């Protein structure tokens, strides 16, 4: 409801000084924002797809009954000690190498704070010597976003607060804790503040997600929390020093990320324009009212008393291991888009290629091409008809190839091709020739089509003369009549081409 409200506001921004909140008009997509630049850096946490936890042998599995994947280490029982999971290190290195980072010797620290779902009252996290440093991620359009570091740390348990208001611990009657998530390995990817618009933020997260999935490091689902994104946002006049930043938490989708950054930038601009100062603070994105709210200010921030974790030894992967991980990296989304672009002639950052590569169907498109069909048609059909199919479509590549060969050979009109394809997809495959025959789709060869066209021109002399006089609208009437006369067997493109040729 609040979303609708904000859309109806056309007067721009309203500021409630007492609540330190503003209402803003929806984004018109233009950056600069009122003469201000946006400076944004993202911190992304991803849960690694390991079999077991970062420091113990309990299963790393989402969605099971509470407290079924626990052990003395996970619960922080007295005397329990962490042992680093080799697979987690390998997945962290895959992430680092895919993001062009340097993999370096690293250490673990303790980050000390009390919270009921933190069993040891400290989190083991890499701190001043992370495993991956100094990389970058290239957006589809070519802009490079710096990656400061990508480090290993452990997740906390999950609290559910019963009673009270708003599901918060304060004021609740009691709380339940599920420690299944405690100790699950995370990699935190800290981006440099190179992001200059909400759209770039969306692209960064989308691209990052694809890379994480491609290298097998994580399923990276924002909605399920296996990928979590915090945004550091500040604004400044072009050329001015960096502004004070606020950190936005609780952003649970790529769409919300753009909205939250936009809202926060506008909130800061309103304050600055009113002569106010920005307070450095952590803010909470509220999906329902579309605003950010103060969570805690810098003054309230915990002193985490970091110190080197004495229960672990330094992590120093040897060069042979690093080289092996690098050599085993699969083709990354950017390369896959370029490959598909070269094969089809479609732009690498165009919608069709972006969508098909994001779905992981680019290998499939290529194999349809290898089966003898036109790859560009394969790209279009897969993009249009395979949205529900996932990375490994059930339709055999040869079946789609056969259909496309009929289409490009003029044996099926594009409308007929769609109908045949729909049936092939519904059945998980099929013989396009047989389906076309069963539906009575016959190829209308060019001489038959020309006869129909000549007949319609004769019948619709008025429309024909208008068309020849340059009235484009008239073409619609002619094409419609031709399609009708051919009982839908005429190919639209061929009809247009014939009309154009006859016009001279």
Q: Which residues lie near another protein (CB under 8 A)?
A: 72, 75-84, 110, 112, 114, 116, 119-122, 169-170, 175, 177, 303, 305-307, 310-313
Q: How far is the CB of 136 from another protein (least distance, A)?
A: 31
Of 35 and 105, which CB lies nearer to another protein in the complex structure? 105
Q: How far is the CB of 69 from another protein (least distance, A)?
A: 15
Task: Identify which of 402, 383, 403, 386 has the alpha carbon closest to the alpha carbon of residue 394.
Answer: 386
Of 122 and 467, which CB lies nearer to another protein in the complex structure? 122
Q: How far is the CB of 128 from another protein (least distance, A)?
A: 12
Q: How far is the CB of 231 from another protein (least distance, A)?
A: 25
> Cα(365)–Cα(357) distance, rounded to whole angstroms?
10
Q: DSSP strand E in 179-260: where?
A: 185-191, 227-236, 246-251
> Cα(346)–Cα(256) distance, rounded to whole angstroms?
30
DSSP assignment of 386-450 equals: -TTT-SS-SS-HHHHHHHHHHHHTTSS-HHHHHHHHHHHHHTT---HHHHHHHTT-----HHHHH
DSSP assignment of 40-99 equals: EEEEEEEE---SB-SSSSSB--SSSSTT-S--TTTTT-TT------HHHHHHHHHHHHHT
Q: How far is the CB of 72 from another protein (least distance, A)?
A: 5
Of 6 and 112, which CB lies nearer to another protein in the complex structure? 112
Q: How far is the CB of 119 from another protein (least distance, A)?
A: 7
> Cα(152)–Cα(144) distance, rounded to whole angstroms?
23
Q: How far is the CB of 116 from another protein (least distance, A)?
A: 5
Q: How far is the CB of 47 from another protein (least distance, A)?
A: 22
> Cα(399)–Cα(404) distance, rounded to whole angstroms?
9
Q: How far is the CB of 163 from another protein (least distance, A)?
A: 13
Reduced DSSP (H G I as helix, E B as strand, rest coil) percent helix, strand, coil of the chain, to 5: 35, 20, 45
- The SS3 of residue 173 is coil
Of 16 and 303, which CB lies nearer to another protein in the complex structure? 303
Q: How far is the CB of 175 from another protein (least distance, A)?
A: 8
Q: Mention every residue, 6+ apart, whose C-beta is less than 8 A from residue 223.
A: 252, 253
Q: What's the length of the chain? A: 504
> Cα(46)–Cα(25) distance, rounded to whole angstroms?
32
Residue corresponding to tokens 């906390």: 156
- The SS3 of residue 476 is helix
Of 135 and 157, which CB lies nearer to another protein in the complex structure? 157
Of 140 and 157, which CB lies nearer to another protein in the complex structure? 157
Q: How many CB atoms lie within 10 A of CB 361?
A: 24
Q: How many CB atoms lie within 10 A of CB 74?
A: 26
Of 80 and 196, which CB lies nearer to another protein in the complex structure? 80
Of 115 and 321, which CB lies nearer to another protein in the complex structure? 115
Of 313 and 391, which CB lies nearer to another protein in the complex structure? 313
Of 312 and 443, which CB lies nearer to another protein in the complex structure? 312
Evaluate the CA torsion angle 252, 256, 258, 262 in order and state its sign. Answer: negative
């Amino acid at each position: 409801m609040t979303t609708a409200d904000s859309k109806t506001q056309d007067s721009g921004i309203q500021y409630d000084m007492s609540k330190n909140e503003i209402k803003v008009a929806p984004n018109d997509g233009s950056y600069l924002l009122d003469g201000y630049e946006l400076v944004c850096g993202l911190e992304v946490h991803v849960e690694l797809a390991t079999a077991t936890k970062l420091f113990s042998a309990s299963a790393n599995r989402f969605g099971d009954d509470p407290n079924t994947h626990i052990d003395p280490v996970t619960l922080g029982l007295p005397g329990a000690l962490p042992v680093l999971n080799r697979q987690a290190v390998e997945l962290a290195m895959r992430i680092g190498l895919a993001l062009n980072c340097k993999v370096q010797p690293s250490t673990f620290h303790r980050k000390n704070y009390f919270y009921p779902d933190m069993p040891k009252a400290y989190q083991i996290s890499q701190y001043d010597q992370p495993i991956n440093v100094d990389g970058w991620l290239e957006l589809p359009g070519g802009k490079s976003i710096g990656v400061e570091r990508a480090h290993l740390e452990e997740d906390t348990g999950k609290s559910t607060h019963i009673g009270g208001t708003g599901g918060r611990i304060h004021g609740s009657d009691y709380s339940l804790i599920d420690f299944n998530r405690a100790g699950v390995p995370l990699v935190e990817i800290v981006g440099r503040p190179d992001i200059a618009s909400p759209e770039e933020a969306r692209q960064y997260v989308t691209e990052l997600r694809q890379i994480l999935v491609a290298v097998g490091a994580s399923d990276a689902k924002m909605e399920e929390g296996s990928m979590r994104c915090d945004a550091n946002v500040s604004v400044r006049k072009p050329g001015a020093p960096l502004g004070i930043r606020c950190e936005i938490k609780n952003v649970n989708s790529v769409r919300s990320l753009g909205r939250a950054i936009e809202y926060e930038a506008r909130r800061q601009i309103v304050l600055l324009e009113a002569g106010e100062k920005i307070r450095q603070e952590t803010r909470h994105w509220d999906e329902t009212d579309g605003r950010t709210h103060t969570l805690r200010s810098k003054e309230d921030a915990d002193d985490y008393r970091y110190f080197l974790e004495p229960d672990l030894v330094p992590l120093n992967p040897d060069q042979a291991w690093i080289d092996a991980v690098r050599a085993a990296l699969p083709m990354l989304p950017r390369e896959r888009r370029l490959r598909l672009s070269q094969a089809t002639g479609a732009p690498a950052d165009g919608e069709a290629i972006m969508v098909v590569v994001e779905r992981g169907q680019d290998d499939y498109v290529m194999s349809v091409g290898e089966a003898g069909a036109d790859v560009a048609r394969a790209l279009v059909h897969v993009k249009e008809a395979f949205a529900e199919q996932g990375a490994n479509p059930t339709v055999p590549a040869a079946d789609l190839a056969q259909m496309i060969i009929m289409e490009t050979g003029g044996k099926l009109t594009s409308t007929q091709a769609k109908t045949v394809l729909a049936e092939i997809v519904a059945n998980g495959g099929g013989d396009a020739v047989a389906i076309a025959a069963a539906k009575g789709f016959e190829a209308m060869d060019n001489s038959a089509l020309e006869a129909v066209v000549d007949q319609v021109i004769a019948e619709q002399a008025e429309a024909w003369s208008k068309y020849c006089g340059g009235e484009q609208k008239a073409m619609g009437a002619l094409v419609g009549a031709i399609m009708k006369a051919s009982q839908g067997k005429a190919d639209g493109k061929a009809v247009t081409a014939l009309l154009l040729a006859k016009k001279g």
